[in-house]
Amino acid sequence: MRAVTALVAFLRKPLGIALSGLTVGLLAVGLYWFQPWKLWVDETVHDALPTAAPTTTGARPTPSVLATGELISHEHTTKGSVRILQLPDGTRTLRLEGLDTSNGPDLRVLVTDAPVKKGAAGWRVFDDGKHVSLGKLKGNKGDQNYDLPADLDLAAYTSVSIWCDRFDVSFGAAELKRAA
């Protein structure tokens, strides 16, 4: 009981008030920065496969596959596949299928020229060279489409990363293999 009384007395003094405020402030910054609740919150996305407008016969042409890849885990366990599709009108889409990774703060989808390396050696390489952000990851699970810029030279980019921009680390990545 004396310890509680002494603590209350200390917290009423200027130094105690200052330390309490500092503690609350540091806790708030830590929560904002790490966003630990996202580890327990899944966001599932079910984007439909992109299709072209129907032809005069009413058929919908299917997109052609330009490249494929399988995601490997880096900082967080990550599974799923990547396909780069081209529609008959020339537009291209990066499609994540069966994505399953952890949620996190400020996750992005990057197309890069970095080699995909297993283990910790591959965690931080995807923003070192050429890379293009396709935007924020829509969700940490499911099937998702990301439009590729019309001027993106696919020959110059060899991989895709689920990238945490806040901590500069890859959650998972896939090497792109060109379709035959």
Q: For residue 53, what pLDDT band results from cuts at 50, 70 and 90?
A: low
Q: Is the pLDDT of residue 82 over 80?
A: yes
Write the burial class of residue 90 (CB in 10 Å: 0-12 exposed, 13-18 middle, 19+ buried).
exposed
Please state which of the ranges 21-25, 91-95, 102-106 shows the lowest mean pLDDT: 21-25
Query: What pLDDT digit, counting tens, does each position of 16-46 carry?
Result: 666 666 666 555 555 555 566 556 678 899 9
* Distance (Å) of CA 36 to CA 19, 43, 59, 99, 128: 24, 15, 47, 21, 27
Among candidates 74, 163, 168, which has minimal Cα distance to 119? Answer: 74
Residues in the chain: 180
Q: Which strand (E) or helix (H) includes residue 72?
A: strand 72-73
* Whole-structure pTM value: 0.78
